[in-house]
Amino acid sequence: MSKWRPSEECLYVIPDIHGQLYQLELILSRILPLRKRNGFRDKIIFLGDYVDRGSYSPDVIDKLVDLKEKYNDQVVCLIGNHELMFMDAIGNSESSDDYLIWMQNGGYNTLVSYLDRANYKLDNPYVLDRRRVKDFIPLKHIEFIKKLQPYYETDDFIFVHGGCDPYTKLSEQDPKTLVWDRSLFNKIVKNPYFDYEWEKCIITGHNCYSKAPLITPKFMMLDSSCNNELIVIELNSMEGFVAEKGNKKMNKLIF
């Protein structure tokens, strides 16, 4: 299979995976191994929301853990709101409401996947004592999620899961806002061609959109998980592909 490497130094960005293992593996088969030579290094930025909704959340986390171990800082993994809900559900929060919110927003599929791995069968996973859920999650997965970062920045781009205030330093913003914010996306959708004054292009997932990707000079929103798709864009060339459920080949994106 030919490799997709449109730039001398590729900067790939992959948004919300949501347990879509097949689509992720299809993309990775085209861009791995990441190159590191002559001062140039390929890099992948993952925008968060690795778990929930899809059927293979544990396998997706396994894949990301392996990538981080192999490529270190050539792989950047941000935290998404579903990772926050996941951690609250398994112990960060004492509220049973937080557990139910997670379960009703795709966490049910994640829990079933972990129970299946443990060969622990329940006709109704809701009857499982929420204090026991953590027992079925590998410690390696919990440690991986704890280390996820709320943002990443380069000379040209800002990467966050949800959104941000473009006029305030990222380090001064509430990490939960960076994960949950939709106001910036909603503003751009209403007026995508306005001449926004901030310097760097902001790249997000989170705001799933039937017309994704949304590409403007100062903002990109790439989450197409609600369409059972996974997008990848190489930012130095501004080329992109979409991996669709059940399709053995990626389709080129037309911006």
Mean pLDDT, residues 39-66: 97
The answer to whether residue 147 sits within a structural domain is yes
Domain count, the chain: 1
The answer to whether residue 5 sits within a structural domain is no
The answer to whether residue 1 sits within a structural domain is no
Output the pLDDT for position 180.
97
The torsion angles phi and psi of 87, rounded to 5 degrees, stand at -70, -35
Mean pLDDT, residues 72-82: 98
State yes or no: pLDDT of 204 exceeds 80: yes
The answer to whether residue 2 sits within a structural domain is no
**Alpha carbon distance 142, 247 (integer Å):** 32
Distances (CA, A) of 89 to 54, 134, 135, 204: 18, 9, 12, 24
33: DSSP letter: S
The answer to whether residue 248 sits within a structural domain is yes
State yes or no: pLDDT of 1 exceeds 70: no
Output the pLDDT for position 210.
82
Tell me if 214 sits within 8 A of 202, measured CB to CB: no
**Alpha carbon distance 15, 221 (integer Å):** 9
**Alpha carbon distance 125, 111 (integer Å):** 8
The answer to whether residue 4 sits within a structural domain is no
Output the pLDDT for position 254.
86
pLDDT, tens digit (0-9, with 9 covering 90-100), for 119-144: 998 889 988 988 899 999 999 999 99
Q: Kindly give the residue spans of alpha helices, DSSP state H, lying in 118-231.
A: 139-146, 175-180, 183-190
- What percent of the chain lies above the pLDDT cut of 90? 82
State yes or no: pLDDT of 243 exceeds 90: yes
Q: How confident is the model at residue 96 (pLDDT cuts 50, 70, 90)?
A: confident
State yes or no: pLDDT of 92 exceeds 80: no
pLDDT, tens digit (0-9, with 9 covering 90-100), for 100-122: 999 999 999 999 999 999 999 88
The answer to whether residue 17 sits within a structural domain is yes
Q: How confident is the model at residue 208 (pLDDT cuts 50, 70, 90)?
A: confident
- What percent of the chain lies above the pLDDT cut of 70? 99
Tell me if 88 sits within 8 A of 79, measured CB to CB: no
State yes or no: pLDDT of 97 exceeds 90: no
- Write the DSSP string, 41-97: E-EEEE-S--SSSSS-HHHHHHHHHHHHHHHGGGEEEB--HHHHHHHIIIII---HH
- Indicate which CATH number applies to the domain containing 91: 3.60.21.10
Output the pLDDT for position 130.
86
Mean pLDDT, residues 54-63: 97
The answer to whether residue 6 sits within a structural domain is no
Range of the domain at 111: 11-32+40-252
**Alpha carbon distance 40, 228 (integer Å):** 33
pTM of the model: 0.95
Average of per-residue pLDDT values in the chain: 94
Mean pLDDT, residues 195-221: 92
Mean pLDDT, residues 180-200: 91
